[in-house]
Amino acid sequence: MAHLPLPTIIAPGVGLLRAENPSEMTLDGTNSYLLFDPTCTELTARTPAVLIDPGPDLEAHLHALAAFDIQLVLITHRHADHTGGIDTLHRLTGAPVRARLEEHCREAEIFEDLEVIEAAGIEVQVVFTPGHTSDSVCFIRRGETSHLFTGDTVLGRGTTILEHPDGTLADYLASLQRLLAMPDMALHPAHGEQHEVSHPLLQNYLAHRESRLDQVRAALDKLGKAGADVEPAQLLELVYPDLDARLVGAASRSLEAQLHYLGLNP
């Protein structure tokens, strides 16, 4: 296949290849990351690498990834824009695939929380971070300089959805606090821009969630709704004014998660 896209080296030992699947939910597209020995001066077809998220089932993207010596594939969570390419990439490379859910694993075991995986000459730690979905995980490429890969738990810009009831706000807030308790390091999301440090973005995400909860409480007071009879649709205009119509479903799920957190949507 001619003219395959090439990864961009964004840090020593970190290559980025973005899938061509932009949308209101995926921003510029899904970021697939190739991790390799940071002492290597370049990423070549012979460089052993660990891949985070093959992305969607897009031929050019998957063939571009398969041009490298991928020895292991790691999955951040179950959504199709991250997992759709699993079978094609596994067929092309033979690389085992690991995830938190068995249905996404290929010739490998499911993750254990905080386990350290050694492959392709590097170490990657798995950190369970449920909230966006129940199976969401982040990865830390350990070394002299560590790097945090957040999947959809933290995006490069904007905020992520909580896919309630699978994802809960209580889990999500705990996951953000868990990441914030770790050392500050470069943050690499599955969608959007890269960040040189993680703590400011994590703190902003926590502040945003607290602000949303205050907005929901104020909207409930305005509507005179103090019990379990409130529906997310009744709150949409008050909590999300000028909402893009394409995001109504995502905002409704986040409202469901917020109401559940407040004990109003069991």
Other beta carbons less than 10 A from residue 128's beta carbon: 17
Q: Is 263 exposed, middle or buried (0-12, 13-18, 19+ CB in 10 A)?
A: exposed
Task: Work out the pLDDT band at 243, boundaries 50, 70, 90.
Answer: confident
What angle separates helix 248-261 from helix 232-239, to the nearest 10 degrees? 110
Read off the pLDDT of residues 142-198 as tens digits, 9 standing for 90 and up.
999 999 999 999 999 999 999 999 999 999 999 999 999 999 999 999 999 999 999
Query: Which contacts (CB < 8 Å, 24+ apart) does range 20-24 have?
Result: 20/58, 20/60, 20/61, 21/55, 21/56, 21/58, 21/81, 24/244, 24/246, 24/247
- In the beta sheet, which residues pair with residue 16? 8, 33
Look at residue 226 in the predicted model and tell me its pLDDT.
56
pLDDT in tens, 83-135: 999 999 999 999 999 999 999 999 999 999 999 999 999 999 999 999 999 99
* pLDDT tens column, 205-240: 999 999 999 999 988 888 876 555 677 778 888 888
Mean residue pLDDT across the chain: 93
Tell me the two tokens of residue 257: 């998660």
Instruction: Count other C-beta atoms under 10 Å from residue 69's C-beta.
Output: 17
Residue 228: how many CB atoms within 10 A of its CB? 10
Quick check: 266 pLDDT over 60? Answer: no
Is the full-model pTM beyond 0.75?
Answer: yes
Task: Say how far apart CA 211 and CA 225 lie, in whole Å.
Answer: 19
